[in-house]
Amino acid sequence: MNSTVKERDYFFDNYRFLLIFLVVVGHFIEPCFRNHPMLSILKGIIFSFHMPAFIFISGYFSKKTSSLKKLIQTLLIPYFVYEVVYYILYIYALHAETKLYLAYPKFTLWYLIALFAWRIVAPWFQKLPFHLPLAFLGGLLIGLTDLDNFLSIPRIVYFFPFFLAGMDFKPEWVKKLRTSQYQRPILIIGLPITLAGLAALCYCTSSIQIFYGRYAYKIMNLRPLEGILTRILCYVISFALIFAVMMLISGKKLPCSYIGQRTMPIYIFHGLLFQSIDRTSEFLSEIQTLPEVIFLLMMCLFLVWFFSTKPFLFITNKIAHLIS
């Protein structure tokens, strides 16, 4: 019994390690992904599933309802603190024009405000009949609105089905999915079809931004029905890749497993470093050759390890416990 639980924990640790690595890579290749075919393909695969998978796992581990005080302590207060940190970085270090737009999250900080909203709303939303189809409907209809990035509402609504599905997903389903006798044929048949669908979608829309969840259909030059059908395909592709990777990830303890328990400092601090590099140099935008691409990926792997070390973990833990 104990070994089963332990194995499942390592599985999710390994999954989260992969996802946080992809988050870092996804941001650092943004200025140069058009310079090399490998980076273009990598960007498409990463953005089609890395945040949906992260959100799905966050929902999976949010089955126990947290108090409002704890959510404010661990998510809302850190959000405000990091917003101020970004503001100071932009104004005094990068000399960039900005204001302290607390209602408009800077860069990666939208995820903190989104987690706060999901963890408040999801427990009562789950009680509604057909709650998951209703969440999908909301994710489709939000693309018809003219909402800007105020409180990241478009993203919160679009990604909510992944969080809700994670909450609904039972531990025994994870085990069944990973040990099914049909696992191999499903992967052999389903994964190429999913990737082909992803390639076709990116080609037809001419942008991977359709997976970002923040842009209205008309901004993506999609008519209402076309946008809804495209977003349905996005949901299908994202869920297919979430479960495909779930089948492939090792459940054994790996040297990198512990990093999967330290994703928050990596998520916060890599964003600050990326903004600093991207706004002050041409280093990232000038990456073109395969050796340079490999160097960038290795650098991202190093940053994942570096920001998972105890000093950064200590800082994020302290900020998450500023009030008690």
* Domain locations along the chain: 2-317
For residue 213, is it left (φ>0), alpha (ψ between -120 and 50) or beta?
left
Confidence at residue 6, expressed as pLDDT on a 0 to 100 scale: 44
Q: Are the beta carbons of 118 and 61 closer than 8 angstroms? A: no
CB environment 243-271: b (16+ within 10 A), e (fewer): bbbbbebebeeeebbebbebbbbbbbbbb
List, for residues 264-309, the tens digit of each pLDDT value: 999 999 999 999 999 999 999 999 999 999 999 999 999 999 999 9
For residue 113, is it left (φ>0), alpha (ψ between -120 and 50) or beta?
alpha
Confidence at residue 324, expressed as pLDDT on a 0 to 100 scale: 64
Distance CA 236, CA 191 (A): 12
Closest CA to 151 of 102, 201, 200, 115: 102
Task: Classify residue 106 by its DSSP letter.
Answer: -
Question: pTM here?
Answer: 0.93
Distance CA 157, CA 143 (A): 10
Distance CA 48, CA 198 (A): 8
For residue 254, the number of C-alpha atoms closer than 13 Å in the C-beta half-sphere is 19
Those residues of the chain that have pLDDT short of 70 are: 1-9, 324
Distance CA 38, CA 315 (A): 35
Confidence at residue 130, expressed as pLDDT on a 0 to 100 scale: 95
Q: Are the beta carbons of 247 and 187 closer than 8 angstroms? A: yes
Give pairs for 33-37: CB < 8 Å, separation 24+.
Answer: 35/285, 35/287, 35/288, 36/287, 36/288, 36/289, 36/290, 36/293
Q: Which two tokens stand for residue 41?
A: 């393909």
Closest CA to 209 of 220, 218, 198, 200: 220
Q: Are the beta carbons of 127 and 313 closer than 8 angstroms? A: no
Distance CA 10, CA 190 (A): 26
Sequence-distant (6+) residues with CB within 8 A of 286 are 32
Confidence at residue 2, expressed as pLDDT on a 0 to 100 scale: 45
What's the gap between Cα 112 and its chain centre? 11
Cα R_g (the chain), whole angstroms: 20
